[in-house]
Amino acid sequence: MDSYKEVREDGLVNPENIIVSPEIKTIPMVALRGKVILPNVFTSFDVGRLKSLAAINASVDTDDALIFVSAQRDAKVEEPAEKDVCNVGTVCRIKHITRMPGDNIKVNVNALFAAEIVSFEPNENYFLVTVKERIPDDCDDAETEAYFRVVRTELAEFLNLPEVKVNKDVFANVLALEKPEEFVNAATYNMNFKEGDKQQILEYATVKEKLYAFFNFLVHEKEIIKTEKEISDKVKASVEKSQREFYLRERLKAIHSELGDDENEKDELKERILAKKMPKEVEEKALKEFSRMDKMNPSSPDYTVLSTYLDWLLDLPFNEASKDRESIADAKKILEADHYGLEKIKERIIEYLAVLKLTGKTGGSILCLYGPPGVGKTSIAKSVARALDRKFVRMSLGGVKDEAEIRGHRKTYVGAMPGRIMYAMKEAGTVNPVILLDEIDKLSSDLRGDPASALLEVLDPEQNVAFRDRYLEIPYDLSKVIFITTANSLETIPAPLLDRMEVLELSGYTRNEKYEIAKRYLVPKETVKNGLDVKRVKFEESAVYRLIDGFTREAGVRNLEREIGSVCRKIATEVASGKTKKKFDIDDKSIEKYLGADRFSYTDELRNDEVGCATGLAWTQVGGTTLPVEVALFKGKGNLYLTGKLGEVMQESAKIALTYVKLHAEEIGVDAKKFEDYDVHIHVPEGATPKDGPSAGVTLATAITSAFTGKKVRGDVAMTGEITLRGKVLPIGGLKEKALAAFRLGIRNVLIPDRNKKDLEEIPDNIRNEMNFIPVSTVGEVLKVAVRDF
């Protein structure tokens, strides 16, 4: 085509300003579903399929930005082939592209002229077609002009009917067009004809045929409007005013009956809603939304939104519940089979299950399993579900920042979906699953809201009876759900949320407990996982203990499992290489053969007696650890230097310890002038690791005293405790973890605050019997034990 016309703001074309376009040979093509574009209009369409997006990109990269658009023969085909596309379409010029939510785009185009596909060119990424312009040869003859006048008069009469609801301004511009071809194209595009009828008009070769077809469709449309009015009058006569809603439904049925539409799918959907036996309020909401959807055009975006909404309501469980295991004894057996040790935790869970069995309720408790990584928090939650014979769903909360992740988005937003709680219920398929809220301490918040606040409603037994997801907008009963949460730290959990949970602490495992866990669970698991025969692979006791002592330094057993897996892979390599043995007996020498030298040693952190260096104990999120403190003196003016990335509280502890030593200089045996002539440098090794807390007070005081007196600190003693300016030793937390850390490192003498003696009961008997815990109440008592010749 030699030229096309510029587009006016009303979507029609301007007869003036002819713009010459280059010859069109081969251009990209987009197949449209449910939409026919005719020449001489300005319009837009959405693109989302990869092939169509590639075609748009290819077109935009050319100077002309031309694209050939053609309707699919069947709109239901997701990935159309060449045979699924109509041969006649429209050549358009891309004017503007708008990014839509998701990967979709909206393309604004100027429809130039009709064209016919000559051939499809080879292209793997998109349709590439050679098109030939369709130029009618009867635009200016008298018969065409006669058709044109008759059709224009008929259209004007049609638009004046009171039942016709159209944009009068648009059709005023259409009626003002003087060229028959431009008129029939613009009128067809703006009329509410079926897309198949519009395609038929587009494919006619002459203007007379187009006008004649348009006239027939227009007359048919008038008959439909007339029939609709007759149906409306009949229905109105058969109902009373108080039955308006019933009348509208009957009217719609009558229209569908007259037009012969198939309503089977909608009838089935309504039957499913009624058969679901939802709570009354939910069923009323579902039927109301179904009624709205029933009146909509299936191609409407709102129709899809309501259809998705109803599918969600039908997928959620309302009455489906799994039957709980009756026997508490069986539940005990399952917990014992799944976990070694953790006696207090298992005892509390059995109590929890007993209350649930007797009352049918969880007793208002939400269990929070708190402890370092690798101690079995997640697996315990799975065992609870197995013990009860309930469905188990894990929901990770790590890194969740948006409140809508919990409560969902409102339906008004594009792409809105329910929150994670409703997803978990849908996945479970029952109203009484066990839902694990994993890593609840890793929640964060930003300008989109605080998900921790949204969880308050979920975890509060008084409120979760009628939890409302913003997307579903219905009350949903979560009271039958057993919620279990896990956390590595309680400090980051908001106080109101923590108040709703009962915290069960899982501390680190002892050396013997790790051995039993490895023997009973980890070795068989890793053996089978790596394709080995359990009967042919045996880990001797010495091998397991060497892995525990020489290759892991942790509170849990996660790294131990990895090391066992590493040994099994070495064995699997030998078996796969043909170096088969009847049996593999793995002892401590085999461990060295497969994994090399020990990475850790009990003597790694055991010191000789030194001046100005003491061993403290600290608690971390991954269990207990040692905390060596070093103090050095050098000529100066009495300044204090602190290094090792110490927190504010620990810095204050260091200042308190130095002040204590100054106040008791005469008692300790230090010349007071020495404090003025020397600067003090306190360093806590591993300078990149942040450290804080008051429990290193006794360690700091001991190291400072040793530095000023020149007397050595015992290397076989570890200590923990907060101090005051008067030299009192205050209690600390995490004694069990700190004691286990000292035990793992081979330290057997531990100084603890006198008021922590009650906490010794938490330490396993075998460890408590092997260690020497020395309660102290003052710094003086500490110095007498820890400093040589004091």
Closest by CA to 403, choosing from 471, 454, 463, 360, is 454
b/e per residue 266-292 (b: at least 16 CB within 10 A):
eeebbeebeebebeeebbebbeebbee
Helix axes 420-428, 301-315, angle to 10 degrees: 50
The whole-angstrom separation of Cα 367 and Cα 379 is 14
Beta bridge partners of 683: 630, 643
CB of 452 closer than 8 Å to CB of 494: yes
Residue type, 633: L
Q: Cβ-count burial of 165 within 10 angstroms (0-12 exposed, 13-18 middle, 19+ buried)?
A: exposed
Beta bridge partners of 679: 634
Instruction: Tell me 352's DSSP state.
Output: H
The whole-angstrom separation of Cα 369 and Cα 380 is 9
CB of 653 closer than 8 Å to CB of 697: yes
Q: Is residue 442 flagged as an active site residue?
A: no
CA distances from 214 to 113, 137, 193, 724 (A): 18, 19, 9, 97
**Which is catalytic among the residues 208, 346, 736, 738?**
738
The tokens for 181 are: 């071809």
b/e per residue 496-534 (b: at least 16 CB within 10 A):
ebbebbeebbbbbbbeebbbebbeebbbebbbeebebee
CB of 388 closer than 8 Å to CB of 331: yes
Residue type, 773: F
- Phi, psi (5° rounding) for residue 251? -60, -45
The whole-angstrom separation of Cα 383 and Cα 339 is 9
Q: Is residue 738 flagged as an active site residue?
A: yes
The tokens for 576 are: 């796969």
Closest by CA to 712, choosing from 625, 634, 607, 626, is 607
**Which is catalytic among the residues 695, 706, 711, 712?**
695
The tokens for 681 are: 């440098």
CB of 383 closer than 8 Å to CB of 334: yes
Closest by CA to 376, choosing from 508, 523, 515, 549, is 508
CA distances from 11 to 47, 92, 159, 705 (A): 20, 14, 19, 90
CA dihedral 569, 571, 577, 581 (to 10 degrees): -160
CB of 407 closer than 8 Å to CB of 469: yes
The whole-angstrom separation of Cα 194 and Cα 202 is 13
Rg (CA), the chain: 40
Q: Is 457 helix (H, G, I), strand (E, B) or coil?
A: helix
CB of 191 closer than 8 Å to CB of 216: no
Determine what percent of the chain falls in helix, strand and coil, rounding each to the nearest 5.
Answer: 45, 20, 35
- Phi, psi (5° rounding) for residue 634? -150, 155
CA distances from 141 to 179, 186, 207 (A): 12, 20, 10
Cα angle 557-558-564, degrees, rounded to a multiple of 5: 85
- For the annotated catalytic residues, the residue numbers are 695, 738
